[in-house]
């Protein structure tokens, strides 16, 4: 156990050093991602400006979301995606399988999934160090859009949801990457997944807006990647403490367990049929 912990620490430290080598490029790419915020704010402003439905308070409302709640939802979904998105993970696994680089995990005492997990932890830590300032500034400037302040237990539930969202996103993309043991090219499958993820996670629009489709989407793991953390902060029905939030977190933990088992099975069976030649 101690040896494994030491190995994981070395992997994490090495990956952090690797990320900081290109810190300027990484910082620029991170900051550019904040530019779409302005376009989204203006877009939703135009949409609500043309709406006529109003709630009891006289505010313009679409599908039970006021303009302020919609902006808050978008910012929160963006925050959740900062945890759950895994750019390059599935394609990187597929590339390693295709060019034979995966052999290093088979000939050395390093678990591939464990290594990729700590490598992704390092990636996210560097991202958070750089993005914390811009995120804090954006949320401060948009503080009036948020309907309520979070109490301690709700804030802890939000942090737990974000952490489990990271695990869910990692395991889903890793599983897609492991399919490359059977199909060397997974780019088409990854493209389809990214489109479905953008829609079914609630990143594009709240899942409340999907009508009958949203009923079965609720049973999929995608909503934990963006929608659930936003719903917790906004206090949506079913996502408040004592009103269904506990059950949602248990279901998410169950999905993580199922995805972990599927990853282990896929890796074990994939390695069994894998063949590579050369040095």
Query: Residue 7 domain-assigned?
Result: yes
* 90 in any annotated domain: yes
Alpha helices per DSSP H over the chain: 2-21, 23-32, 36-49, 67-84, 89-99, 103-107, 112-141, 152-178, 187-200, 212-217, 227-234, 245-273
pLDDT at 8 over 50: yes
Number of domains in the chain: 1
Decide: pTM greater than 0.85.
Answer: yes
- Quick check: is 35 in a domain? yes
Reply yes or no on whether the pLDDT at 53 is more than 80.
no
Q: How many CB atoms lie within 10 A of CB 218?
A: 15
Q: How confident is the model at residue 161 (pLDDT cuts 50, 70, 90)?
A: very high
243 token code pair: 């009103």
In a domain, 66, yes or no: yes
pLDDT per residue as tens digits for the range 248-275: 999 999 999 999 999 999 999 998 887 6
Domain assignment present for residue 279? The answer is no
**Is residue 74 assigned to a domain?**
yes
Burial 259-271 (b: 16+ CB within 10 A, else e): bbeebeebbeebe
Give the tens place of pLDDT for each residue, 187-215. Answer: 888 899 998 898 899 988 898 888 777 77
Q: What is the average pLDDT value for the chain, to the nearest integer?
A: 84
Asked if 16 contacts 122 with a C-beta cutoff of 8 angstroms, the reply is yes
pLDDT tens for 90-100 read: 999 998 888 88
CB count in 10 Å sphere of residue 28:
11
Give a yes or no: residue 278 inside a domain: no
More confident residue, 57 or 218: 218
Confidence of residue 279 (pLDDT cuts 50, 70, 90): very low
Instruction: Select the more confidently predicted residue: 113 or 274.
Output: 113
For residues 213-220, give the mean pLDDT. Answer: 81
d(CA 58, CA 69): 14
Measured between alpha carbons, how far apart are the two ends of the chain, in Å? 32
Rounded (10°) angle between helices 67-84 and 112-141 = 150
Q: Which residue range(s) make up the domain with 58?
A: 2-273
Assess whether pLDDT exceeds 60 at residue 277: no
């Amino acid at each position: 156990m101690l040896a494994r912990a030491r190995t994981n620490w070395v992997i994490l430290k090495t990956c952090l050093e690797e990320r900081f080598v290109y810190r300027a490029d990484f910082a620029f790419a991170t900051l550019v991602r904040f530019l779409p915020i302005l376009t989204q704010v203006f877009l939703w402003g135009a949409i609500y400006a043309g709406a006529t439905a109003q709630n009891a308070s006289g505010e313009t409302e679409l599908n039970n979301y006021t303009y302020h709640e919609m902006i808050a939802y978008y910012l929160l979904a963006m925050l959740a995606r900062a945890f759950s998105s895994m750019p390059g993970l599935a394609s990187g696994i597929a590339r390693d399988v295709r060019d034979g680089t995966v052999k290093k995990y088979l000939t050395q005492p390093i678990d591939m999934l464990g290594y990729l997990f700590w490598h992704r932890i390092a990636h996210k830590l560097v991202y958070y160090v750089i993005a914390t300032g811009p995120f804090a500034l954006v949320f401060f400037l948009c503080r009036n859009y948020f309907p309520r302040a979070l109490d301690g237990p709700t804030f802890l539930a939000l942090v737990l949801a974000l952490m489990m969202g990271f695990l869910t996103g990692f395991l889903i993309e890793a599983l897609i990457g492991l399919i490359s043991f059977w199909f060397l090219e997974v780019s088409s499958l990854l493209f389809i997944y990214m489109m479905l993820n953008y829609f079914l996670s609630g990143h594009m629009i709240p899942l409340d807006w999907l009508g009958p489709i949203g009923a079965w989407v609720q049973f999929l793991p995608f909503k934990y990647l963006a929608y659930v953390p936003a719903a917790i902060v906004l206090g949506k029905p079913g996502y408040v403490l004592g009103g269904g939030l506990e059950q949602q977190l248990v279901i998410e933990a169950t999905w993580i367990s199922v995805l972990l088992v599927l990853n282990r099975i896929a890796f074990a069976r994939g390695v069994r049929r894998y063949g590579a030649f050369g040095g």
